[in-house]
Structure 1
């Protein structure tokens, strides 16, 4: 019979300290998320201070390194020592004269001009802000047209309810039955009334607005085709053969519509000039820009790696507050002590983040220098372990550094993980990177004839002739990564 017993075991388990947990979290953030994190820390922690008086000040003091063959990357510092000299990267003292005095006359003059400009605006004169162009949204553009039409109040409510249900593309994705409850009319709107209101909105500018599908959007814009014969052919194509249009099957369309390929090609080109997203012409476009973390330049024959000055936050420990707290520290000030400790961790972890990014970037540039000279075809196979062994870090740390971090080069802006690819064996027994093979595939497709595009199988055959043994499905995967359409969609009539 088994009995219940207590047993004590000693077991070692590795765990990260709070400071290292914060360091890992800051390291894997993108530059935008990291900037927001630093901004939040400045707002919450009284022992941290920032200086935004001169955003370009750190550029001259940023560490730069020549990356040449045979030079080893700097060894990583221990977890208890700072990676970078704080005075070099984090110095945020304002520039002034020899005595440290800052000339504020220019700033005061600018502020005075701003106040006088504001007063002129308040007195009725036009100011600079009054002359700025204001973006008009799609809803405002349609509401303005509805307001000048001779409609009853009920029709106006129905039309505007449809307008408010449009998405950014200008499409109506909501069923008309759902709009009946949203209008809250008494008596409730009927489906026929909503159909009339929908036709009214679809007749407004821009053409194609309030469509419920791509086909309907194109049909609403066919009135812009002046030639009646072409317009009728386009109507048949959009209504019955939209899949053939998408596949660019000109021969199939000519056979089904009993027209010549030249006629069908002309009509298809005219249809492609229509706008499938009419709502994009209104409102400010949401463009997501990438801010590079490091900048690569070639100076005096050597590639130089530099941190981007615009992403290095000017954050430092407020020594005045820290010394005052240490002198008047009491037992009940545990929260302030925690803030002070967190401020010290934040400054050191910021230094550690940029030092790690810099050392990994140096190692990448050293290994992939031929890419910067000759392009993607010269990319070498590279794994995380190679960089980790060179800079003295763990593979997981290198993985965190290469995600959401970008490098500005003369060839463009690339994510750091772009430079890593597995090795593929060539027919001669050598190794070639997957990035180089994608570059070869891209060059092949760009050089193909539009009337006879290359299929994935044909691309694989030509690669084999060059000594690159790649399966057809691998070619398909690489083509999709390059965002290149299939052969049927690239085919054009001769």
Structure 2
């Protein structure tokens, strides 16, 4: 075949570095954004934080000219961003945390917290016992899990000793006895029944305590099944006595040492604050979440005076301007989406979860003329502070359930109604899933029994058999 030359015309989209950065910043959470900015501040000498409080976002009188210019630039950038959003792959992961150095303004310190083993060891040191018993108690202490249960049997622990140590099973039983008399009550238990019994033994003697002891030792399975009829028959007690014993058992903790577990508390910085202003719910950017950046004036002046010999500083100046622009565009887009959500869900802010309406990402995207994937990025790991709590943007979106009038109800509203029905039910005759579905049907909401069960489980509400009481 004879080789020939052909002309072919095609179009394709290219992700510019600026657009890549814009997409990346848009999907970062506030904490991840601050980490990214800290990294940029270290790498780019032309970028620095702006000292002093910035203008209050969301106010109508300040910076009108700047806002008009940024909105014009934002609309042009969003057009390109939406075109790329259909196929641009989302970059995952957050920027790496930098090591603490001498220039850090703040350092985070964890409050000192006494561990379970430290708490027990302090008591062991003050308890009168032989050094041998004290060593065996400390050995058993190492076999405790985070809830304070002894996870190994005494026989298994005994096999760990060499015969020359002359440790007998009776020695371990004595050590376990010492361990189970330490604080908190219930530590060293080998089963939930023994854990509750240990806690009851630490209480003053009374007929109620004795009855509760019989229940947890002999009939704990019946109590878990809420079979109060068989419990009364087996225990030969009155309904009032059984009720008092049941209340006493409910006051105990099946995880007595959970308070000593280390808590990894994670804090959320809301991006938007929602308030009611002149009868209208309004979203405004949270100044605490907005990083204030600017170009270093000294370096910018030097570059202006030496335009012909900028070197790498010229590129860093452009990167600094890109970052400042993209950060501003990120928050402008977040504010637009937040206000649209607030407008769509204003009934929720007035009346609560029961008034939540069905909402999809597509509705917000069509209203703001943005791509659906852009809305998805904006609503992920972004939070708004409202009079009803700090809520993630995603919270306001959900599936819908049909009504008998041909409309639709939000799944969030259905869950709220289910919670209200369960809270108001007769504990002696709790509502079944079928009965809850019938009650919702009476309010015009067509919900299947299995849907009620799914929503009930998502609310961590136990089934009817486990909600029954006496």
Q: TM-score category by the smaller chain?
A: 0.7 to 0.9
| SS of the residue 2:247 aligns to | helix
Is 1:25 matched up with 2:24? yes
Q: Which residue of 130, 133, 139 maps to 2:117? A: 139
Give the distance between the partners of 1:215 and 1:183, measured in 2 at CA: 29
Q: Which residue of 284, 291, 297 maps to 1:306? A: 284
Q: Which residue of 144, 157, 160 maps to 2:138? A: 160
| CA positional deviation for 1:460 | 0.4
1:177/1:19 CA distance change after superposition, 3 Å: farther
- Whether the 8 Å contact between 1:65 and 1:306 is mirrored in structure 2 is no
**Partner residue in 1 for 2:90:** none
Is 1:61 matched up with 2:50? no
**Partner residue in 2 for 1:291:** 269
- Whether the 8 Å contact between 1:158 and 1:183 is mirrored in structure 2 is no
Please report the TM-score for the alignment, with normalisation by the length of structure 2.
0.77
Is 1:439 matched up with 2:416? yes
1:387/1:80 CA distance change after superposition, 3 Å: closer
Q: Deviations over 1:429-475 (max 9, x none)?
A: 12222222222222222222222221110010111122211000111
1:412/1:134 CA distance change after superposition, 3 Å: closer
Give the distance between the partners of 2:139 and 2:303, measured in 1 at CA: 60
1:373/1:333 CA distance change after superposition, 3 Å: same
| CA positional deviation for 1:339 | 5.0
- Whether the 8 Å contact between 2:78 and 2:370 is mirrored in structure 1 is no
1:435/1:327 CA distance change after superposition, 3 Å: same
Please report the TM-score for the alignment, with normalisation by the length of structure 1.
0.74
**Partner residue in 1 for 2:334:** 357
**Partner residue in 1 for 2:459:** 482
| SS of the residue 2:275 aligns to | strand
- Whether the 8 Å contact between 2:146 and 2:261 is mirrored in structure 1 is no
Is 1:318 matched up with 2:296? yes
Describe how 1:121-200 pairs up with structure 2 within 5 A: 135-164=113-142, 166-173=144-151, 187=165, 193-200=171-178
- Whether the 8 Å contact between 1:294 and 1:408 is mirrored in structure 2 is yes
Gaps of 5+ in 2: 1-5, 62-70, 82-110
Aligned length: 426
Describe how 1:41-120 pairs up with structure 2 within 5 A: 41-51=40-50, 57-58=53-54, 60-64=55-59, 76-79=74-77
1:431/1:281 CA distance change after superposition, 3 Å: closer
Describe how 1:360-375 pairs up with structure 2 within 5 A: 360-375=337-352
**Partner residue in 1 for 2:365:** 388
| SS of the residue 2:195 aligns to | helix
Give the distance between the partners of 2:124 and 2:117, measured in 1 at CA: 11
**Partner residue in 2 for 1:223:** 201
| CA positional deviation for 1:201 | 2.0
- The one of the two structures with greater contact order (alpha-carbon pairs below 8 A, sep at least 6) is 1
- Whether the 8 Å contact between 1:208 and 1:278 is mirrored in structure 2 is yes
| CA positional deviation for 1:34 | 2.9
